[in-house]
Amino acid sequence: MNDFLGPTAWAVLSLLLTTVLLVGLTILRRRRELAASFREIPALSELPEELGRAAETGSPIHIALGRGGLGSVDTVTSLAGLQVLEGLVDAAVSYDVAPVITVGDPTLLPLAQDLLRRAYERNEASELYDPGRVRFIAPAATAYAAGAVPLGAPEDVTANVAAGTFGAEVSFIADISSRHGTAKRGAVDTAQAIGALYPATSRLAAGEELYAAGAEISKREKYVTSLITEDILRCLVVLAILVAAALALIGS
Give how far Cα 222 sits from Cα of 91, 175, 212, Å: 17, 35, 12
* Three-state secondary structure call for residue 209: helix
* pLDDT value of position 109: 92
* pLDDT value of position 2: 45
Half-sphere exposure of 61 (CA within 13 A, CB side): 30
Q: What is the pLDDT of residues 49-92, one digit of tens each?
A: 777 777 777 778 888 898 888 887 888 888 888 888 888 888 88
* pLDDT value of position 196: 80
* pLDDT value of position 23: 62
Q: What is the pLDDT of residues 130-149, one digit of tens each?
A: 888 899 988 888 888 878 77
- Please tell me the distance from the alpha carbon of residue 150 to that of residue 199, in angstroms, as a whole number: 22
* pLDDT value of position 92: 83
In sequence order, what are the residues at sequence separation of 6 or more whose Cβ sits closer than 8 angstroms to the Cβ of residue 233? Answer: none
Q: What is the pLDDT of residues 4-47, one digit of tens each?
A: 445 655 666 566 666 656 665 565 554 445 444 555 666 666 67
Q: What mean pLDDT do residues 240-247 have?
A: 73
pLDDT band at 179 (very low <50, low <70, confident <90, very high): confident
Q: What is the pLDDT of residues 182-241, one digit of tens each?
A: 777 888 888 888 888 877 777 777 777 777 776 666 666 666 666 666 667 777 777 777
pLDDT of 156 > 70? The answer is yes
Going by the DSSP 8-state scheme, the letter that residue 107 receives in this structure is T
pLDDT band at 123 (very low <50, low <70, confident <90, very high): confident
* pLDDT value of position 20: 58
Handedness of CA 95, 98, 104, 108 (dihedral sign): positive
* pLDDT value of position 171: 82
Is residue 163 within 8 Å of 187, Cβ to Cβ? yes
Nearest to 101 by CA among 62, 69, 129: 62
